[in-house]
Structure 1
Amino acid sequence: MRWRQGRRSSNVEDRRGESSGGGLGGMGNLLALAPLLLRSKKGWMILLAVAAFYFFFGDNQLFHQTPQQSVPSTSGQPGAPAAGGDDVADFVSVVLADTEDTWSKLFQTAGKQYTPPKLVLYNDAIRSACGLSSAAVGPFYCPNDDKVYLDLSFLNELKKLGAPGDFAFAYVIAHEVGHHVQNLLGTSQKVQQARMQSDKVTANRLSVMLELQADCFAGVWAFYAHRDRNLLEPGDIKEGLQAAAAVGDDRLQQRSGHAVAPDAFTHGSAEQRVYWFSRGFKSGDVNQCNTFAALSGQQP
């Protein structure tokens, strides 16, 4: 990708090196003493009183995400380094900025306003408004705080999956931003409500539709990144297709030594993910990304 002269985003929070805050602090100590306190009536009263104090006034990490200070990667000027000064973080900042440019224009055309997500860089584990997560879960989007979370070590995982290259990583970022777009449009909320009222197989199918739409949105971003800003080089789309295929549920099930079980898919098969990314890239049309209509009948 021709990314080095691209605009850097001011929406990157570099929280690498921070503690995940996995401990429960004072509330944790209270819970540890609970078995002793519950042996007497007075103990019950102490437990309830202290719990009420923590709920209303104290460090209630169990209920709310503690606000984190934002560390912008740049001032938005081309050529400025990302926080930490390393190349990969700088690349992430440029890709995020380009998704901002694409979706801002598309939302404006539709008469809407696009509010970009924050992207959080972290190591090993992170506490978000969606809970405590480790790097093992891979990149994810949390709709509760409108943030994309990314451990840069995932780049090595992509290489192990057979999807090396900078555009493969860009596809992953654009996919997570696609989930943010779904959240802004209200699609994520509707799917979540439908999943809660469905059996497991149907709920998994709805998840697949949501994930494939995010793949299509990533393809739409790639269309404009190539047409309007000439970011893509020969071979980049092939890298994106390899990445989409590599994280297909069937491929991942096979790699883990399990038989392919379509009813257990939550993200879509390799073929589906390639198809929907390609559909977005070829058309550049968000209206072509209605996976819910397309997959309610015969799958492509």
Structure 2
Amino acid sequence: MSNQHPYGGQPPYQGPPQQWGAPQYQGPQQQFGAQGGPGGPQYAGTPYAGPQQYPGPQYGGPGGPGFGWGPGGPQQPKKKSKGWLVLIPLMLVAVVGLWIFGVVNKHNRLNDHDHTSPEPTYSYSPSTDPSDEPTEAPTTTEPTEAQPTTTAPQPTKTTPPPPRQPTSYEVVSRDLFYRTGTQPGTGCRLPAANASSIAGETAFNRAMKACLDRAWARQVRLGRDVFRPANVITMNGGGQTPCGGSSGRSHYCDSNGTIYIDGRSDVQNYNNSRVSKMWVRVHMADTMAHEYGHHLQNLTGISDAFAELWYAAPTKAAQLEINRRMEIQATCLSSVFQGANKATLPVSRAYKNEYNFISHNSGDEWDTQRTHGSKVVQPYWMNRGFNSRNVAQCNTFIATSDKVR
């Protein structure tokens, strides 16, 4: 199991997520003028006053400065003449002649009108002569009612909505990874290297990591996830990682898919004559397998869903319980691997004794926060995974709270 709390560094508590209501979309507001119409400049224009009155020229009548007497004053009247008496007979003759000419002329125009017949003008001439035979009953054409032109409605192409995404709780509790069944043995053996030095510890961790890659690849793919091998770095003290500063405790960083192992502590314990060498080797194998369990959670999406649940938890106590479910699951997955390969590791009596000691003596009682589960529940989950070798038995997110206390 990991001896760092919580796995990957605990995110700072920011309280329950805010509940965001639907945004009230108000769009651009229209400005209305005095007449209630849309805004904008009110166009008035030039008022129309009707047609323009064009004054014509002023006519003052003939003559010059008024009608009156000419220059020199009144003239003496002339002597009256009788010549007008001669003109009367001549005028009578002229009038009678003009009357006779008019009567004759009118008579001639009437005669011309009676004897001249204008030809009719046809707008259409048939191309064939009319037949003497009577035609059949006239063909009558019924008036055709105008049919309204209609366009058949075209089916509206609608894009189906995207499928509903599972909730965070559905991911951590119902992922297909839980249905991948019992893990078959892959012939993994404890590496010959030991923790007598950092170099020996590094070799041990690399060999164990390669074995875990081989054991878990099949089940990750069966759960319809993409498998990627983990990385492993053996630390000789603290250091800086993508997941933040580390005090040197073993942990997994999902940002780069890397397992960081506290090599210094293992080397110190291995070289301590009062500590069992078998205990150190079992502890090294169990820690690598536990941190690899977090890698599996990362590959399957359980890690991301866990983080969302953690931030949404209403209380600190709820956050700690969710964190314990995550860590206990990694412990159970570690035991699945060891149970599946118990014949080849091998899990001897000495191995199983140290394994049982670890299960009964690991827990939050020796830590500052209750992040990994108490020593009361550790044996339950370690034996559950070891004996079943089945991933479904490690679904800690559906367990009752007393099983993850």
TM, length-normalised to structure 1: 0.61
Deviations 1:26-67 (A, max 9, x none): xxxxxxxxxxxxxxxxxxxxxxxxxxxxxxxxxxxxxxxxxx
1:89 counterpart (187, 202, 210):
202
Structure 1: segments with no counterpart, 5+ residues? 1-77, 254-263
Give the match for residue 300 of structure 2. 185
Aligned counterparts, 1:195-234, within 5 A: 195-198=310-313, 199-227=315-343, 229-234=344-349
Residue 282 in structure 1 maps to residue 387 in structure 2 = yes
Change (3 A) 1:183 1:112: closer
Q: d(CA) in 1 for partners of 2:268 and 2:354?
A: 14
Per-residue deviation, 1:275: 1.5
Worse overlay, 92-101 or 196-205: 92-101
Which residue type is aligned with residue 214 of structure 1? A
Using the TM superposition, give the Cα deviation of residue 186 of structure 1 relative to its aligned residue in structure 2, in angstroms: 1.1
Q: Secondary structure at the match of 2:377?
A: helix
Aligned-pair identity in percent equals: 26
Structure 1 distance, partners of 2:348, 2:277, is 19
Q: Paired residue for 2:285?
A: 170
TM-score by length of 2: 0.46
2:371 aligns with one of 266, 270, 277: 266
Task: Please give the secondary structure, in 2, of the residue aligned with 1:231.
Answer: coil
Structure 1 segment 99-110 matched on structure 2, within 5 A: 99-110=212-223
* Counterpart Cα distance in 1 of 2:403 and 2:358: 25
Q: Do 2:198 and 2:234's aligned partners in 1 also have CA atoms closer than 8 Å?
A: no
**Correspondence list, 1:138-157, <5 A:** 138-155=249-266
CA shift digits 1:176-214 (9 cap, x unpaired): 110111111111111111111221000000000000000
- Closer, same or farther in 2 for the Cα pair 1:158/1:214, shift >3 Å? farther
Q: 1:205 to 1:81 in 2, by over 3 A?
A: closer
Alpha-carbon distance change, 211 to 90 in structure 1, aligned in 2, over 3 angstroms: same
Q: Does 1:247 align with 2:352?
A: no
Cα distance in 2 for residues equivalent to 1:91 and 1:151: 13
Letter in 1 for 2:358: A
Cα deviation digits, residues 203-259 of structure 1 (max 9, x gap): 0000000000000000011022224x4433222133223234433002446xxxxxx
| 1:98–1:225 Cα contact (<8 Å) kept | no
The change in CA–CA distance for 1:99 and 1:196 in structure 2 (over 3 A counts) is: same
On the 8 A contact 1:213/1:289 being kept in 2, the answer is yes
Show structure 2 runs of 5+ residues with no match: 1-190
Q: Is the 8 A contact 1:219 1:284 kept in 2?
A: yes
Correspondence 1:118 to 2:234: no
Q: Tell me how large the CA RMSD over aligned residues is.
A: 3.1
CA–CA distance in 2 between the matches of 1:142 and 1:188? Answer: 11
Alpha carbons of structure 1 residues 131 and 102: separation in structure 2 relative to 1, 3 Å:
same
Q: 1:168 is aligned with what amino acid?
A: H
- Mapped partners of 2:361, 2:277: distance in 1: 7
Of the two, which has the highest radius of gyration? 2
Q: Which has the higher contact order (CA 8 A, sep 6+)?
A: 2
Which structure is higher in helix share?
Answer: 1
